[in-house]
Structure formats: structure tokens, C-alpha cells
Structure 1
Amino acid sequence: MGLADQEWFAALYQSCYRRLVLATYALTNDLGEAEEITQEAFALAYGRMARVAAADQPEAWIRTVAVNLARRRGRRRAMLDRLLRRDHPEVLAPAGSDERLDVHRAIRALRSEQRAVVVLHYLADLPVDEVASLLDIPIGTVKSRLSRARAALAAALGTPAEVDHA
């Protein structure tokens, strides 16, 4: 692995780290865990740099790894919670303006399926077809979940729902 490979990988990391954290946050609802999963996905990608570099979309390759890691952790946590019969502690909202906190709380309150599509589509800026591919659901399901999520967010925030043809 030469210097050029390391520079390419560093540029990849810089260009897509934030989007990948948002993608995993959509699934975990925990920023710290999302950052940890994203780091793990990059570590795996670094070990398979030749494969990642050969991929048509290196970011998509790493995002798929990160989503799979997040799902695996979620299944393990769910199993542990069932075994221990406990609930997850409430995650604290990040500091910011009242409006941002309200939006963050409203997004956190969405059902996990709706939260995932909202964060991936609107915050990670992925097109509907990529969200569908990433979550392994039909495009129509993504659109339906986005529509229901927008309605739920509008109700939670006391604003009229906008029509969006994603």
C-alpha cells in the first residue's frame, strides 16, 4: 500500500465521514454509536482498500458495511434487552437552538422505519432509490414512509405538511 493509496483513502474519509455517520445515526438513534460504527466501517474498508478502490462507488461500499454493522448491533441489543427485560435509556438531544432541538426531538420520536428514511433522504441527502437499496425495501415503501414521516413531523412541530414528490 503506497502513499497514493493512503492519500486516496484519507480523501475518501474526509469527503464522506459525516454522511456515513448520519446514515448510521438513522438506524441507531445514538450519535456516539453512529460515530463508532462509521469508524469500524472505515477500518474494515482500510483493510480491504483494493476492493473499495475498485468499487464503482466506494462511499456506497462503506455505507453498506456501516448499515450492516448497525443492524447487527441493533439485533444484538434487542436480544440482550429481551433477555434482561429492560428498556433503552433516553438519549439526550444535542445542544443547539430551540427550533433545532424541536426538530431533533420530533425526528427521534418517529418510528424507526420512518426515522431511517428521513435521515438518509433529507440529512444524508441520498436519493430515494439509494435509500431503498440501502435499506433493502421497495422504492414505493421509501416514498410511503417519507410521506407518513413528513405528516408526523408536521403534526409534532405544529406546521402544515408540505407535499414532496421524492
Structure 2
Amino acid sequence: MVRTNISLWRRRRHEVIGSPDPEPSHDSPADALGLRDELVRGLRRLSEKQRVVLVLRYIYDQSVQEIAEQTGMNPGTVASHLSRARRAMRSHLDHPATVNVKAGR
């Protein structure tokens, strides 16, 4: 499921950025696989709740309120999990070998 979500994100990220016709990529397939592997490793380091809200927000383009309704969480809690998940993913992608986020957060 995570790999499917990452593939969907890659296809949709150009829509989010607003590029109607993305420039051709000069990355090799190995680079793309490396990025995918880093994303998967980063997602695995998140708590389940952080992973859920991150996927619902950025893959399924749901609002914080919609995520709260679906998960039964308070909107403030959703926003908090989302903020921590973004920070952890950003940190992991900047320094993949040194970041380890506690799963309970």
C-alpha cells in the first residue's frame, strides 16, 4: 500500500505544484528507485497515526477536518500528527542515515 501511495503521490505532485506540463526528468531509474526507497524508509519511521494523516493529506488530498472525521481524532490532534510527520520526513530526507523518529509519537 505504501508503494502504491508513493506512486500516486509522484503522479499527482505536479498537479499540486501547479505545473501543467512537467519538464522531462533526467534522473536515472536508479535515482528514482533510491528516492522511493528513502521515502519508504522515512514512512516506516513514523508512527501509524502520523503515517495515516500524512497519506490522507498528501496522497488523498483530504483536509484536516476530513481526516479528523474519518479517523475520529480531534482536528488539533490531526494537525499535530501531520506537523510531526512532515518534520520527521523532511529531516529523514535531508539526513537519511541519522534520523530515527520514535514510533510512539
Tell me the TM-score normalised to structure 2 length: 0.57
- Give the deviation of 1:105 after TM superposition: 1.6
Matches within 5 A, 1:1-166: 25=1, 97-158=33-94
Larger helix percent? 1
- For this pair of structures, how many residues does the alignment match? 68
Runs of 4+ in 1 over 3 A off after TM superposition: none
Return the structure number with greater relative CO, CA threshold 8 A, min gap 6. 2
Structure 1 unaligned spans of 5+: 1-24, 32-95, 160-166
- Give the deviation of 1:30 after TM superposition: 8.9
Q: Equivalents in 2 of 1:116, 1:101: separation in Å?
A: 19
Report the aligned-residue RMSD.
Answer: 2.0
Structure 2 unaligned spans of 5+: 5-31, 96-105
Tell me the TM-score normalised to structure 1 length: 0.37
Identical positions, percent: 37
